[in-house]
Structure formats: C-alpha cells, structure tokens
Structure 1
Amino acid sequence: MSQTSPSVSLRYCLTLDESQDGFALATFGKKQITRFITPLVSVAIIAWGFYLGFNQVGRYYVALGAFFLILQLLMRYWFLPMMFKRQFVKYQLGKSEQGIELFQDYAEIYANGTKQTFNYRDVQNFAIGKLTYMLELKNRTVVIVPKRAFMQPADQTLFENTFKK
C-alpha cells in the first residue's frame, strides 16, 4: 500500500552560492580526492621535467606542467564561477521555485511548474556539500536541494538516510 502524503516535502528557491555548491558537487565529483587529480598530474609533469634536467629537455616539461597547472587554476577558480554566475543572473534561475517530496517508494521533483517522478533506485549519485545536497539520476537529471530548506533536523536526517547507499 503506497503512502498518500509525503514523508518530507520541501519548497525552495536556490541562491547563487547554493547553486555553485551544487554545481561543484555535480562537476568535480562527490569525493574530494577527484578535485586534485588533474593538478597532481600537472605537478608530476613538472617534477618529471626537473628529474630530466632543467638545462636540457626537462625545461619543456616544466613549462608544459606549469602551463597546465595555471590553466586549471584559471578555469576552476575564475572562468567557471564567472560563467556560472553570468548564466544564473541571465536566466534568473534563483527566481524559480523548486521542490521535492519523498514518499515511501518514490520521490517527486517540482521545477518550473512541472512535476517529475522517480524511484529511489534511479539515483545514481548522492553527494553532500557545504550548503546543498546533490542527487544525480540515471537519466542525468541533477537535483540540488539546499540544506536551509529543511525546517526540522528529523526531515534532514530522513532525507540523507533515504539516498545514502
């Protein structure tokens, strides 16, 4: 017998900081170590260049590694946040109400006046950020839920336990 009223019902509008936190969870991975793989490869290229000898061919490896490292830093900390903020303001994403309701066997997401239903087994990734939770479904839909939307700690605990694997 299915449940007629939701266990948890949330309605919210995302702020820019919450959207950036959710975007970071979705793009950089849910584990902190994945954020450092590409910079570590660049540092390894630099180290390899010094190992080969800075006066010979090694200086090209050092320059290449430094170029990759600077490019990654610019992309991660300047370009992507700037572009994200620009798109957020341009399309007024923070002004649209969103929501999620958890039932016994499924959940419903609300966004832009439309409703989508999904089963809990359709959740591919669940990540906890500083300000938000991120759900990635198997159909590549990403749902960002701010932590401030929870009025009661019991609802937040139920939400986390529902999606943790």
Structure 2
Amino acid sequence: MKLIILDRDGVINFDSDHFIKSPDEWKPIPGSLEAIGRLTREGWRVVVATNQSGLARGLFEMATLNAIHAKMHRAVAQAGGRIEAVFYCPHAADMNCGCRKPKPGLFTEIAARYSRDLNDVPAVGDSLRDLLAAATVGARPLLVRTGKGERTLAAGGMPDNTPVYSDLSEAVDHLLKAVA
C-alpha cells in the first residue's frame, strides 16, 4: 500500500495566521487538488494530519471544522482525488497533549488505523513541527515552500536530508517519478 501523509494548512490550502475558521476561508493552493488527484489515480492512499487548535481556542466549533473538511473533500473529488481520512489535533499548544505536532500522536494513530509502520512513508508539511512529527516515527519528511515553508527553511533545524519543493504539486511530481 502506497501511503502519503499531508499537512492541511499551507500544503493543501492557503494558511492564515488568524486560522482558517470557516469554509469560505478555506482556499486551495493552486495545483494542490490536482496533485492529490494524480496520487489517487496512481494508487496512493492520501491522509491528512493537521493541528486544529482553533477548536480549543473557541475560534470555531466542530460542525465548522466538519464543514471545512467537507468542502476540502468535495474540491479534491472534483479534481479526481480522494482523501481517505483526516486526523486532527483539537488541542491548544499549552494543553500538552500527545497528538499536537511536533509530537507523533497523529502519526501513531495513522499507523494503527492502517496497521503498518510509517517507515519511509512520505509526509509533506510546511512547518518544522510537521517535519519533526514525521521523522519521530520514521516517516520521510518533505518540506514545501508554501504556507510557512519559506520561514521554516530560513529558520533551519530540519531533519537531515529533508527535500524541499516549491509546492505539493512539485513534491508529488517527484514522488511519482521516483516510484515509476
């Protein structure tokens, strides 16, 4: 089974320092939906692992998060793709949970759901916490320059040999060529 883990904000859709708080604020990054479509057509299982502390902060309700994800699923489907599951952390950073990236809880949940280890599974993110969570479980972190990616790259501290791509589309192009 070919599995890939994607962060949401900054990888699939534009990010906001003020959080994505409604379906209207969720806007896909050009090429990201088509990239997920290409993965799906090539037999990849696509899952999302995302921190959503806006829930704990009271910025939006669970019904709103569900509506945002429903919009994302519809948009991906219209591009010929499929996101199998969305794993999310609803906690604020100060709640010290095990699922908020950079902790690996979301990734271990994915491993349990799919009954497999995540060794060398590509995990695409735009922030250091995405990359560290992936590396902790042996997944292969990939950085995109979209979202917070440029800031992450400039700050350094990434896991060794983390490849950097302009966006999800370029990362997917590379992955599909590598397995061809």
TM-score, normalised by the number of residues in structure 2: 0.25
| Higher Rg | 1
Higher RCO structure, 1 or 2 (CA under 8 Å, sep 6+): 1
TM-score, normalised by the number of residues in structure 1: 0.27
Structure with the largest fraction of strand: 1
